[in-house]
Each structure stands twice: as structure tokens, then as C-alpha cells.
């Protein structure tokens, strides 16, 4: 039962935590799977032929900052807040 990752062309407006950006979909899916095992919900978006692993879009910046703190508690360090507009 292989889960298929959805790829959005452009994320909706707001903020998201970004964990990585890759030239190959396979690498993005690998990271996405590893994060899911830590209980982190992610999706893959393709922007200018780059596959970015992000959380679902968060509307408010304060909520994005809180989400960033929560993720760091799960021993994830390579993460930052990306804004989409």
C-alpha cells in the first residue's frame, strides 16, 4: 500500500516550515517519509523544477513560529519558515 505524495504547483498564501529542497522527487519523498516517521505532516511542492518538502500552509506567522518550535522538539534541525504569497 504505497502512499502517493501530492505535489502542488504553488502553495496557497501563508507560511510553511520548509525542511529541504531537491532537484529530484525521489530525494524529496525520502525526506518526507523520514519526517512522517517522526510524526510530522509534510507535502511536496514543485517550484521552478525544485521539489520542496514543506508542512501544510499556515496562515498566521505566529502559528508558523510555534510550529517551528514544536518541530525542533522532535530533533529536526534543518528547517526554516518559508513565506508564500
Output the pLDDT for position 75: 84
CA distances from 11 to 2, 50, 85 (A): 24, 13, 8
Low-confidence ranges of the chain (pLDDT < 50): 1-5
Contact 7, 44 (CB under 8 A): yes
38 touches 46 (CB < 8 A): no
pTM of the model: 0.81
pLDDT of residue 85: 82
CA–CA separation, 12 and 34 (whole Å)? 24
Please report the pLDDT score of residue 4 as a whole number: 47
- pLDDT in the model for residue 3: 46
Amino acid at each position: 500500500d504505497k502512499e502517493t505524495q501530492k505535489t502542488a504547483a504553488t502553495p496557497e498564501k501563508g507560511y510553511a516550515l520548509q525542511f529541504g529542497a531537491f532537484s529530484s522527487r525521489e530525494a524529496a519523498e525520502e525526506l518526507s517519509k523520514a519526517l512522517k516517521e517522526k510524526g510530522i505532516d509534510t507535502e511536496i511542492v514543485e517550484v521552478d523544477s525544485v521539489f520542496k518538502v514543506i508542512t501544510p500552509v499556515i496562515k498566521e506567522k505566529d502559528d508558523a513560529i510555534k510550529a517551528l518550535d514544536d518541530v525542533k522538539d522532535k530533533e529536526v534541525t534543518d528547517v526554516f519558515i518559508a513565506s508564500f504569497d
